[in-house]
Structure 1
């Protein structure tokens, strides 16, 4: 398997937009306030393991329940579309339970914020388009970025400011919206062929 840097870059940007770690800084800060400390290493490792396991076993699990990758990708395109709408319009469509236990690094941070339905769906879609090695490299790059952002979230918030975070969130929301439309268009055609 040869690494293709264009594929790695594209897959990294897609995952980065879906994970939306910069846009989640306010949520990370509120979790940190509630729990005192978030284990950044644990959150990053758990998210990486969930994503890589799903990358390898996701298709088998889907076929076991009678769903093909194209059907899952179309469903995922809808999820990405709604996540993008949340980012662009500043509305909340998905409600998440709040956790005050010591497991904040795992739930809700590692799952479902980092390795949630959007990123898992995206991984299967990326696997259908790109080589497995390139998708794994994109996961690793994103986990490194996630870890850095988790470790420096307070400083990033001060540096970017509230408006900076809002602008970044909206820009990545538009990118994610375009990705959702592309994902839907490509896979809906495959369903009817």
Structure 2
């Protein structure tokens, strides 16, 4: 097992940008108002478990249906590209269904808000480039950060204000856009060689 700090940091930043837990604070607060209480521990642990499970089983599922990781990484690059556009331009390309059930900590918070299509696709895209141990550490660090944000979402929102959250979303959107372009370029080369 070889942990590489640079890989951990890059994987952490990519997942952090895709999950966009800071940008989702208004949604989290709205959910809290609707259902009264969000179980931060449960939501964080379930999201982490979904991501780690998909990291290991995702490749097997792809092999079962005859898709290689590089093709999936290119598809992932497109998804990251559109998520980045949403973040930068403040538009919504993908609309989540609203569901105010009692299990809000699991659905829609843990899945699909935290461990959604974007983050799951990203994990397999990262797997095409990085060692699994480094990605797992990045997932765990993100889960810890998600837990802290969920616990302190009201304080964070009042501290940053809507302008602060908007600026953070746009900055991470630009970072994510650059990562999507890099991911696409590297994996498309492999597919055409």
Q: Secondary structure at the match of 1:103?
A: coil
Shift of 1:86: 0.6
1:34-113 alignment to 2 at 5 Å?
A: 34-113=34-113
Shift of 1:128: 1.8
- RMSD of aligned residue pairs (Cα, Å): 0.8
In 2, are the aligned partners of 1:76 and 1:117 still within 8 Å (CA)? Answer: no
Shift of 1:147: 0.3
Q: Secondary structure at the match of 2:3?
A: coil
Unaligned 5+ segments in structure 2 are none
Q: Tell me the distance in 2 between the aligned counterparts of 1:159 and 1:67.
A: 45
Larger deviation, residues 5-14 vs 141-150: 5-14
Unaligned 5+ segments in structure 1 are none
Which residue matches 1:118?
118
Which residue matches 1:146?
146
Q: Tell me the distance in 2 between the aligned counterparts of 1:188 and 1:11.
A: 20
In 1, are the aligned partners of 2:73 and 2:128 still within 8 Å (CA)? Answer: no
Q: Tell me the distance in 1 between the aligned counterparts of 2:4 and 2:135.
A: 10
Tell me how many residue pairs correspond in the alignment: 193
Q: Tell me the distance in 1 between the aligned counterparts of 2:145 and 2:134.
A: 17
1:154-193 alignment to 2 at 5 Å?
A: 154-193=154-193
Q: Tell me the distance in 1 between the aligned counterparts of 2:181 and 2:109.
A: 27
Q: Tell me the distance in 2 between the aligned counterparts of 1:12 and 1:43.
A: 19
Task: Give the TM-score taking structure 1 as reference length.
Answer: 0.98
Q: Could you list the runs of 4 or more consecutive aligned residues of structure 1 that deviate by over 3 angstroms after TM superposition? A: none
1:86-126 C-alpha deviation (Å, 9 max, x unpaired): 10000111011111111111111111111111111111121
Q: Tell me the distance in 2 between the aligned counterparts of 1:58 and 1:128.
A: 12
